[in-house]
Amino acid sequence: MARRGKKPKGRPISGWVIFDKPVGMGSTEAVAKIKWLYFAQKAGHAGTLDPLASGMLPIALGDATKTVPFVMDGRKTYRFAVSWGAETTTDDTEGPVTRSSDLRPTRAEVEAQLPAFVGEISQVPPAFSAIKIDGERAYDLARAGETVEIAARTVTVHKLEIVSMDEGVTVFEADCGKGTYVRSIARDLGRALGCFGHVTELRRIRVGAFDEDDLITLDDLMDAAEEGLEELDQEAIDAGARPRVVRFEALDEFVLDAATALSDLYEVALSDDQAGRVLSGNPVLLRGRDAPAFCEEAYATGHGRLVALGSIDQGAFHPKRVFGGRG
């Protein structure tokens, strides 16, 4: 006799919460907090943000987790401050100083070096990073006192500009591709200037299709859920207890549809009949003079909401992953 699968715990909500992560909170902790607050069946994030960094951490709920790879592959924009005169083991303020200098660069000297850090560049990630070496995280090996050697890799920096400069600290804005480490830019730029440098502040302000206008803070979310949360004390909330009443309608106002993450792909707008066929796993023929005959990656929507990911072949949309969660 076949065993019945367990009923998923939580709400079948699907979409993106563009969380403004505060300094000191880890990415895993942030996902757990949002998942608990929304009572979502599942949740995941699109790109780790260090505890010492703040800003955009896109968190996918429910079926939107299927679109995470598209967000992770998108461009990211960071605003970060570099303090000149010291290099650290972690390339930020967390580690001890390993090299120092009394030199401080002028704005002109910094600007003269920036072209070398734009475009496709070779970069060695920080020793304290999440990169795996023989199955182990680099930061675990580094914290254990082992010498960490990470091979250089090619990354893309689309833009690197000075925002402000004052008293030995320069604030930059960088627009970069997947796998780029801002801490490595600070380290290598400091070495090129001969004065050394490390990141003292880091904030992510854009990821893929999401920008600063989409950001929502924990305070905003907690205020929206305040009516239900008032019934629990902080100790109970920290222990994971659920309130008897939560204003989910108010919280759900902050959830973006899963399709928002796919703005770089071709969109197929479906009728109700076509959406039904696609949700059953069947292809549908596309009509219209501008409809493409072939497209490697596309997505289908019904009434503006994501129905499926797929491809277009010989003028027909073929679903690969369908979305059944409710927003």
Active site residues: 50
Q: Which residues contact 183 (CB under 8 A, 6 or more apart)?
A: 90, 91, 92, 126, 198, 199, 202
Rounded-to-integer distance, Cα 162 and Cα 106, Å: 12
Task: Please give the structure tokens belonging to residue 111.
Answer: 């600007």
Rounded-to-integer distance, Cα 68 and Cα 90, Å: 28
Rounded-to-integer distance, Cα 25 and Cα 273, Å: 45
Q: Give the residue from 229, 281, 266 showing the smallest Cα distance to 250.
A: 229
Helix (H, G, I), strand (E, B) or coil at 324: coil
CA distances from 53 to 27, 48, 201 (A): 10, 10, 7
91 CB burial (10 A radius; 0-12, 13-18, 19+) = buried
**Secondary structure element (H or E) that encloses residue 27, with its range:** helix 27-38
Q: Give the residue from 258, 272, 244 showing the smallest Cα distance to 321.
A: 258
Q: Give the residue from 35, 178, 195 showing the smallest Cα distance to 110.
A: 195
Read off the DSSP letter of residue 47: S
Helix (H, G, I), strand (E, B) or coil at 121: strand
163 within 8 A of 171, measured Cβ to Cβ? yes
What is the C-alpha radius of gyration for the chain, rounded to an integer number of angstroms?
A: 23
In our burial notation (b when 16+ CB lie closer than 10 A, e otherwise), range 56-90 reads: bbbbbbbbbbbbbebbbebbbbbbbbbbbbbbbbb
